[in-house]
Amino acid sequence: MLSSVMFWGLIALIGTSRGSYPFTQSMSPHLQPRLYRGCYGDIMTMETSGAACDINSLISCGIRGSEMFAEMDLRAIKPYQTVIKEVGQRHCVDPAIIAAIISRESHGGSILRDGWDHRGLKFGLMQLDKQIYHPVGTWDSKEHLLQAVGVLTDRIKAIQKKFPTWNATQHLKGFFLL
């Protein structure tokens, strides 16, 4: 699961829907301006444990691991900043959520081979599984990102329907647990 701290690094890239703010890593989250949060939960208040830990990756796990991965992926995600904002606004999804998924799934596309994962099963920045979805557009196109974020919102809506008493943050976290 993605850490809220990982989101902060990606939020620094994405900025707000009204413009960008020059954030720093040491800035307290409570002092940062309120960002566009979309319709599917507020990542600013979401608590998570950070990157998963195992015996082989104790240095790059937890909150610090998520910070490290987000920092490494910022440069790769930057070229997609505008399209991420456009797609986020169209689907009412916080652009930082989209950027965080792109970071987690494909490291901003930097680990993909012609848009595919190393096994040739998942495609695009957000890594849609070809066995479940028929990918549209090129791996880094707006068309494909619209499809992937549409899948994201459909899955969140399914969780909302299955767990109607949960709040928006729980619905969003539920997506990451699927």
Rounded to whole angstroms, the Cα distance separating 130 from 26 reads 40
Rounded to whole angstroms, the Cα distance separating 129 from 131 reads 5
16: closest CA among 85, 101, 75? 85
Tell me, yes or no, if 143 is annotated catalytic: no
The stretches of the chain forming alpha helices (DSSP H) are: 4-14, 62-77, 81-91, 95-106, 142-162, 168-177
Catalytic residue among 47, 67, 71, 105: 105
What residues act catalytically? Answer: 105
